[in-house]
Amino acid sequence: MVLIHGGRFEMGAGGVYPEEGPPVEISVGDFWISRHDVTNAQFARFVRETGYRTVGERGGQTVSGKVEPAGGAVFEMPSAVDDGRPVRWWHFVAGADWRHPQGPGSDLRGKADHPVVQIAYADAQAYATWAGLQLPSEAQWEYAARGGGASGTATAQAAVAHGVPRANVWQGVFPFFNSDADGFIGTSPVGCFPANGYGLYDMVGNVWQWTTDLYFPSHRYPVGLRSFDPNNPNVPSRVIKGGSFLCAANFCMRYRPAARQPHDEGLGTSHIGFRLVRLATPNGAPRAG
């Protein structure tokens, strides 16, 4: 883990997506944060030692008001626009879980060092508890993502520099064409793109990451509010950060520290993972809690 010395900063941004504002002054204390997302190999060890079954494996989660069987949400690239009907690229797939992230027939061969996905919020919390660590708050995550100086609107590690991909994001026209310029259509191994100023990998791109914050479409919200996603108002939602391999300049330019989205805390997907933090004691030594 990497020790991040806390401080005061302006969280959020204006002029990009409305939910990123208004910017607010906030302070964070010292904390340690994982260099990279939790990998398939790390999560597999947790499962072996505890017998844990994820929300997606157990089933019974409610998605858009409907109780679904075991499974998760999977991105499927549409081939074309059909008969003027709205294009859909997310589908709930029965049997999709962390071992089978694209559904039955998919597996983790050759992906031990890729970030684990198909992880609901409760699954990430369970892993954190087992590890004696925590999920980051939105403020901790964003402070770390800036790498010691980047603004919220810039990337802590530019997604593309001089025509060379520096993060795992979508190249091409989303959702119909991905040129694969960075060498990956889906997830990539952790740490294969340059680290930010703090030595942290994949703080933008690859997979979105859970935070502990309940979602509200602004950085100024009523105290005590549970969560509120205008597009999914009856479902508890958490803030996810960092963007993913599906973020593209023409659709979801959220591979920036200030970018944020809501996500149903009970639904795993093929593009959301997590990393962990640990509070620092006054002398800099890490501790859980």
CA distance 70 to 92: 10
The per-residue pLDDT for 33 is 98
User: Domains (ranges, CATH) in the chain?
Assistant: 39-126+146-273 (3.90.1580.10)
Count Cβ neighbours within 10 Å for each residue of 16-55 and write b for 16 or more, e otherwise. bbebbbebeebebeebbbbebbbbbebbeebbeeeeeebb
pLDDT-derived band of residue 86, with 50, 70 and 90 as boundaries? low
pLDDT at 194 exceeding the cut of 80: yes
pLDDT-derived band of residue 81, with 50, 70 and 90 as boundaries? low
Give residues with Cβ within 8 angstroms of 62, minimum separation 6.
68, 235, 266
pLDDT at 120 exceeding the cut of 80: yes
Burial of residue 15, with CB atoms counted within 10 A of its CB: 0-12 exposed, 13-18 middle, 19 or more buried: exposed
Burial of residue 145, with CB atoms counted within 10 A of its CB: 0-12 exposed, 13-18 middle, 19 or more buried: buried
pLDDT-derived band of residue 15, with 50, 70 and 90 as boundaries? confident
The per-residue pLDDT for 289 is 37
Helix, strand, coil % over all residues of the chain, rounded to 5: 15, 25, 65
pLDDT at 228 exceeding the cut of 90: no
DSSP bridge partners of 99: none
Pick from 2-6, 77-81, 156-160: least confident: 156-160
Which residue from 252, 148, 176 is spatially nearest to 208, judged by alpha carbons? 252
Mean pLDDT within 205-217: 94
pLDDT at 123 exceeding the cut of 50: yes
The per-residue pLDDT for 288 is 43
Pick from 8-12, 37-41, 208-212: least confident: 8-12
CA distance 12 to 272: 21
Pick from 36-40, 52-56, 93-97, 163-167: least confident: 163-167
Mean pLDDT within 88-115: 93
**Mean pLDDT for the chain overall:** 86
CA distance 234 to 232: 6
Mean pLDDT within 223-231: 74
The per-residue pLDDT for 111 is 97
CA distance 33 to 198: 10
pLDDT-derived band of residue 156, with 50, 70 and 90 as boundaries? very low
Reading the block at residue 87, the tokens are 């294009």
pLDDT-derived band of residue 258, with 50, 70 and 90 as boundaries? very high
The per-residue pLDDT for 274 is 99
